[in-house]
Amino acid sequence: MRTSRLEAFSDGVLAIIITIMVLELEIPHEPTWSGLAESATGFLTYALSFVYVGIYWSNHHHMFQVVEQISGAVLWANLHLLFWLSLLPFTTAWMDETSFEQTPTIVYGLNLLLAAIAYYGLQLTIFAGPGGERLRTALGVDLKGRLSPVIYLVGIALSFLASWPAVAAFVTAALVWLVPDRRVERFLRDERDLA
């Protein structure tokens, strides 16, 4: 099966998730700077979730550059990942509307954790399929992929004390991914050089 249509569909879903979150941003009631300031947390959580969806899109994009054929199992592992990401507008809005109350913050962390697990599951499914060895070699020891769930768990644990350290953990895990990751690019270049 060709990867192009799976990529196009995933791009579509991720583009919509990243964009409809703005519909959950509440328009300030007062036409003033202090009115806008009340929306400030909404703006920050919007930016955080925007960056997360951007990270997943970027990683997804890199991963499927190495994949050449997809099976039905990969297709469903991919939908599983999209499912958890599609809940981000919901968990983001809840955390924001309650101004980072404990439960919504935990739920947001759980959403990030479940998306990370789904992403890991997608990787394993590709590893097990035809050509999976190639991706495994390209990714090597996936340090970041292993670190992220740990940070989310730390964040969830911290949220039992207070919400801000939890949010700080979620921001940290995002920053880790912003550091450029050249594994796939290097792998493709090496492969080309060998050929």
The residues of the shown chain that bind a second copy, judged by CB under 8 A, are: 1-2, 5-9, 11-20, 22-25, 27-28, 31-33, 35-36, 47, 50-51, 54, 57-58, 61-62, 65, 71-73, 75-76, 79, 82-83, 86-87, 89-90, 93-94, 97-98, 101-104, 107, 178, 180-182, 185
**Could you tell me which residues come within 8 angstroms of residue 190 by beta carbon, excluding any fewer than 6 positions away?**
none
Minimum distance, C-beta of residue 72 to a second copy, in the bound complex (Å): 4
Contact 89, 20 (CB under 8 A): yes
Least distance from a second copy to the Cβ atom of residue 170, Å: 17
6 vs 135, beta carbon nearer a second copy: 6
Q: Which is nearer to a second copy, 51 or 117 (CB)?
A: 51
Give the shortest CB-171-to-a second copy separation in angstroms.
16
Nearer to a second copy, 135 or 150 (CB): 135
Cβ proximity to a second copy: between 16 and 150 the closer is 16
Q: Is the dihedral of CA 92, 95, 100, 103 positive or negative?
A: negative
